[in-house]
A and B are shown apart, each in its own frame.
Chain A
Amino acid sequence: MFDNVGWLVVWPVVIPILGAALAAVAWGNERRQSILGVAGLGAQFIASIALFSHVWSHGVVTMSMGGWQAPFGIALAADTFGAGLTLVGSFVGLIIAVHSIGATDAAHRRAGYFPLLLALMAGVAGAFLTSDIFNLYVWFEVTLISSFGLIVLGGRREQIDGAVKYAFLNLIATTLLLIAIGLLYGLTGTLNMADLSGKVAELPQDSTLETVALLFLVSLGMKAALFPLYFWLPAAYHTPLPTVSAIFAALLTKVGVYSLIRVFSLVFPESGDMAREAMIWVAVATMVLGALGAMAESDIRRFVSFTVVSGVGVMVGGLAIGTEMALLAAIFYFVHSIIISAALFIAASMIVTAGKATRIEDLAGLYKRAPFLAVGFLIVGLSLSGVPPLAGFWPKVFLVQAALEAGSTVLVAGILLSGFLTLVAVGRAFALIFWRASEDETPLPDAGPLVKGSLGAFAVTTIVIGLYAAPVVEISNRSALELLSPDAYIDAVLGSPLAALGADDVPRAALSRAGKEIQ
C-alpha cells in the first residue's frame, strides 16, 4: 500500500489533520494537546523534508485522490516551489508550536489552540500541494475557518473587533475566488490547473478572459493583502494571541501570494495582460504604503503588521515582471518573508511583555533590561530592511536587477524607496524602544528558553541564509525555471498514479478514452 512514492505528497497534509483530530479528542487536557501539537507539526516537518528531498532528486511527485485519474479527479502535486514552501512553512509552524508552549496561557491552550493550529497547518500544506483549483479554494476555507477560531481565542474586546473585520473581508475574498473559479470552469470545462494551462491558451484572448484573470487578482490580492485591499490586515493581525499573529503573518498572506504565483504562471502564462500591468503598480503601491504605514505607526504590533504588507508587494512585484530572475527573487523573498514575519511578531510580543506597553512612545530603555531581545530584534529588523549580509538583502538585489533588465524603473524605485523607509522605521523603533533612557533599569525576568530559543532560531536562520545563500538561490532558481516551463508538472499531474487500493484494477485505457470523448 505504501510502496508508491505518491504517498509522500499526501503525508504533509494528512498528518496535521490526524493530529488535529487526536488533539480535539484530548479536549481539556492541555498537556496532552501540547504534546500532540508539537509531535504533529514535527511529523509534518519530517514528512516535508522527505517530500522535498524526493522532489529535489527525482522531480514532481503526484497522487490522484480516490482513484480518479486527473484531470477528472483531484490530484495533489509537489514541484520544487510547492514542496519547498511546504518545508519552510512546516519549519516555521513547528518553531511557533514550541514557542507557544512557553508564551501562551494554559487556559488558552486548553480552549483548542493546538487542534486549530494543526488544522491551519493542514490547510496551508494542502494549498501548497494541490493541483486542482477548486481544491485550492477548499484549502483556503480550511485555513480560514481554523484562523477564525484562532483569532478569537481569548475573547478580549479588541480581538472581537479585529475578528469581525478579518472574518467578513476574508469571507468575501474567498467568495470572489469561488466566482472566479466558477467562471473559469465555465470557459474551459476543467478545474485541474495542469489541464487549465493548455485550455486557457487555446481560448480566444478576449475581454472575458481578462475579466476572469482580474477577478483572480482581486480575490487573491485581497487574501494576500495587496493595495488597495490590505486594510483588514493592520486592523486585525495585532489583536490575537502573539503566537497566532506570528503564524498568520508567516503563512496566511503567503498562501494568497503563492496562489497568485501559481495561477498566473500556470493558468494564465500568456493571457491576463491587463492583470499583469495592474500588478506592477499594485505591487509598488503595496510596498511603499506598507513601509510608510510602518513608519507612522505607534503600536509596535501594528508596526509589524504594516511591514508584512510591505513584503507582499515585493513578492508580487517579482511575479509581475515574470522573468526567470524576477521569479527567483520573488521565491527567495517568499522564504525569507515567512521566517522574518514570524520572527518580528515574536519579537514584538516579547517587547510588549517586557515593557508592559504596546505603544512605541511608552516603551524605553529595553536595551539594558533585555539585551537578548534587543539583539534579536535588531537582526530580524535589519534583515527585513534588506541590509547585507542578512537574508533580506539577496532577493532585493536580484529583483532590482530583474526590474532593470525588464526596464521597469517604477519597480526599481519602489523597492529602493520601500527598503529605505523600512530601514528608517526599524531604526526609529529600535532607537526609541531600546536606546532611549529609562528610569527603571532593573533587569527583566528571563522570558524562558522556549520563547528566547524560537526568536534565536529565526535570527540564526536569517543570518545563515544571508551568509550562505547558495542553496536557497539554487532552489529558487529551479522553482522559477519550473514555473516558467511547467511541462514536467503538467505531464506528471495528468499521468499521476492512482491512490486507490487495487488501482491496477481500474481500466486506465477506458478512462483516458472517456476523457477524449468528453473533450
Chain B
Amino acid sequence: MEVAFSIVVGVLFAISIYLLLSGSLIRLLLGIFVLGNATHLLLFVVGGLMRNAPPLIPDGLMVAETATANPLPQALILTAIVISFSLFSFLLVLAFRAYQTLETVNTDEMRDAEPVPAQTVLRGSDV
C-alpha cells in the first residue's frame, strides 16, 4: 500500500511543479494547492500505513498491548491542513487584489516593485 501511495505523492509533486513553473497567477495558485495536498499525503505515508488497528489503549493500561496505527501523522496533517488552508485563503485574496490593482495575472508583467532601471550617468564632478 505504501508503494501505491508513494507513487500518488510523486505524481502530485510532478503536477504541482509543472503548475508552479507557469507564469500565470491562477496556475501558480493551483500549483500551491496541489503541493500542499501532496505534502499532507506524504506525511501520512511516512508515518506507516496500517489497517484495522485504531490507536486506542484499553482501560487500566498505560501502553497498548499490540501494535496500533500511528496517530501522530494524523495530528501533524491536521495541523498542516489548517495552516495551509489559512495561507491559501490569503493567497487567493492577494491574487485577486493583484488582479484588481495591477490589472494582470501574468507574473512577467508585474514589474512595479522591480522597475526596469532607467540609465543615469553620474560623473565624478557631481560628487
Contact = CB atoms under 8 A, between A and B. Distances in A.
Contact of A144 (B35, B42, B87, B107): B87
Contacts of A401: none
Given A361-B120, A432-B122, A507-B62, A168 B28 contact: yes
Interface of B: 20, 25, 28, 32, 35-36, 39, 42-43, 45-47, 62-63, 72-73, 76, 79-80, 83-84, 86-87, 90-91, 94-95, 97-98, 101-102, 107, 110-114, 117, 120, 122, 126-127
Interface residues of A, number: 48
A235 B110 CA distance: 11
A179 B98 contact: no
Contact of B87 (A171, A179, A236, A298): A171
A144 B83 CA distance: 10
B87 A182 contact: no
A157 B46 contact: no
B108 to A, nearest CB: 12
7 contacts: A161-B112, A164-B98, A175-B35, A182-B43, A186-B45, A186-B46, A235-B113
A171 B95 CA distance: 14
A158 B90 contact: no
Contacts of B39: 175, 178-179, 182
A510 B39 CA distance: 34
A196 to B, nearest CB: 14
Contacts of A168: 28, 32, 91
A155 B35 CA distance: 28
Given A175-B84, A183-B42, 14 more contacts: A144-B87, A160-B98, A160-B101, A160-B112, A161-B110, A161-B113, A162-B113, A164-B95, A167-B91, A168-B91, A178-B43, A182-B43, A507-B62, A510-B63
Given A141-B83, A144-B87, A235-B113, A164 B25 contact: yes
A161 B102 contact: yes
Nearest to B121: A361
Given A172-B20, A514-B63, A152 B113 contact: no
A517 interface: yes
Interface in A281-326: 298
Contact of B62 (A134, A162, A513): A513
A478 interface: no
A235 B20 CA distance: 18
Contact of B79 (A138, A163, A236, A514): A138
Contacts of B127: 431-432, 435-436
B87 A186 contact: no
Given A164-B98, A507-B62, A186 B83 contact: no
Interface of A: 134, 138, 141, 144-145, 148, 152, 155, 157-165, 167-168, 171-172, 175, 178-179, 182-183, 185-186, 191, 234-236, 238-239, 298, 359, 361, 431-432, 435-436, 507, 510-511, 513-514, 517-518
B73 to A, nearest CB: 8
B122 A361 contact: yes
A167 B63 contact: no
A447 to B, nearest CB: 25
Nearest to B44: A182
Nearest to A516: B63
B46 A171 contact: no
Contacts of A436: 126-127
A158 B98 CA distance: 10
Given A134-B76, A141-B83, A436-B127, A239 B46 contact: no
Contact of A179 (B42, B84, B91, B111): B42
B61 to A, nearest CB: 10
A238 B113 contact: yes
Contacts of B45: 186
Contact of B114 (A175, A235, A431): A235
Given A235-B114, A517-B63, A172 B35 contact: yes
Contacts of A158: 112-113
A490 to B, nearest CB: 21
A183 B46 contact: yes
A517 B120 CA distance: 71
A239 B113 contact: yes
A237 to B, nearest CB: 10
